[in-house]
Structure 1
Amino acid sequence: MSKSALTQREHYNYTDYLSWVNGKRCELIDGIPVDMAPAPSRMHQKVLGDLYNQFYNFLKNKPCEVYIAPFDVRLPNSGEQDETSSTVVQPDLVVVCDPEKLDDRGCKGVPDLVIEVLSPETAKKDLSIKLHLYERTGVSQYWIVHPVDKTVMVFMLDERNQYSKPSVFGAGEQIRVEQLNSLVIDLATVFK
């Protein structure tokens, strides 16, 4: 779909998203197309790759599965059917523990954990728009990884279904993921 065609309408859905063939990756947040950043930096990919490896190795032969971008996560609002969902995102990494949410097109519904690795082009979207989106839709854990600062902010939903103040972890620390049978992510290897 051309840029001019995208500006002719104010609200799009998953059916529209599937029809776009311009070769440019984008996400759909509350019906608004949002361009994806150009190819990430080498550091971004290294950090993401190491995180993926640690999750994958731990989750192998377990019910939860880990996926790395590009991987569509459809987050229908209440009352929306899959095809009319107005939100489709491609987080850097997702963990899904309910196999009913997985199909050949990705994940339909809220993943158990989402990780975004910041880059200069995505920082504002990841720290604001996606933070509020993941909180609103009920993603129980949202990690924001700062590859330059070598830190990870872990947001967890509290009893009010709001993200509490994030826990911040540095390069030499480990993150224990209790909801995944005490998986421990070693940040020393992620940020080496």
Structure 2
Amino acid sequence: MSAPIAARFTRDEYLRLPESPPGVRYELLDGELVTMNDPLPVHQLAVQQLLLALASWCRSPRGHGLVLLPIDTEVGETSILGPDLQWYDGARELPSRAERPWPVGDLVVEVASPSTARYDAEVKLSRYLAAGAREVWLVRTDPPGARLVRGGGASSEDVGSDGTLRSPLLPGFELPLADVLR
């Protein structure tokens, strides 16, 4: 669950904040600091399975690029979010690995828990696409499923619990959703 904190922050003030305490993560949305509790194990296990599959694909002969766990990601002048996973195309020029915030990934993945699904779908999705994400995956743990949204209004696809995650950005990548949510 997320909750805004009353004070307003600029981008630079947010970036100067100390590390969050254990069990709490921050995001900046339209100048408001939003706190989120650490996710439940079901969420983290789904993120872990997605990370392992994407990282393996990146190292394979057909893949390339970089996949990262949550990092500060600029999605507007007053908004910095931390997607669960992001994949960056290997041909893309990226900032130093010691900098923050980073630009939005080519593929952004949010694993939604029942308490965050609305925030992910109604707020974050449009921010990622407007910031240049070429595709966003909204993976649900309950009920199981996923929505794959391609940038530029190209298309949207719903994947059921027995379906497979695929993307034109990731040639040859296939991951049964059941493997993510087992």
For the criterion TM > 0.5, the same-fold answer is yes
Structure 2 counterpart of 1:162: 153
Q: Is 1:16 aligned with 2:13?
A: yes
| Deviations, residues 84-119 of structure 1 (Å, cap 9, x unaligned) | x42211101110122424532356223101111111
Distance between the aligned counterparts of 1:102 and 1:178, measured in 2?
27
| Mean CA deviation greater in 40-49 or 19-28 | 19-28
| Distance in 2, Cα, partners of 1:106 & 1:152 | 29
Paired residue secondary structure (1:25): strand
Opposite residue 171 of structure 2, the aligned amino acid is N
Gap runs ≥5 in structure 1: 1-5, 78-84
Runs of 4 or more consecutive aligned structure 1 residues displaced over 6 Å after TM superposition: none
- Structure number having the greater helix percentage: 1
Alignment correspondent of 2:170: 180
TM-score (norm 1): 0.79
Q: Percent identity?
A: 25
Name 1:27's counterpart in structure 2.
27
Aligned to 2:107: 113
Asked if the contact 1:135–1:162 (Cα under 8 Å) also holds between the matched residues in 2, the reply is no
TM-aligned CA distance change 1:163 to 1:87, over 3 Å: farther
CA distance, structure 2, for counterparts of residue 187 and residue 102 of structure 1: 33
Q: How many residues align?
A: 171
**Equivalent residue letter for 2:25:** R
Structure number having the greater strand percentage: 2
Q: TM-score, normalised by structure 2?
A: 0.82
* RMSD between aligned residues: 2.2
Q: Secondary structure at the match of 2:136?
A: strand
Larger radius of gyration: 1
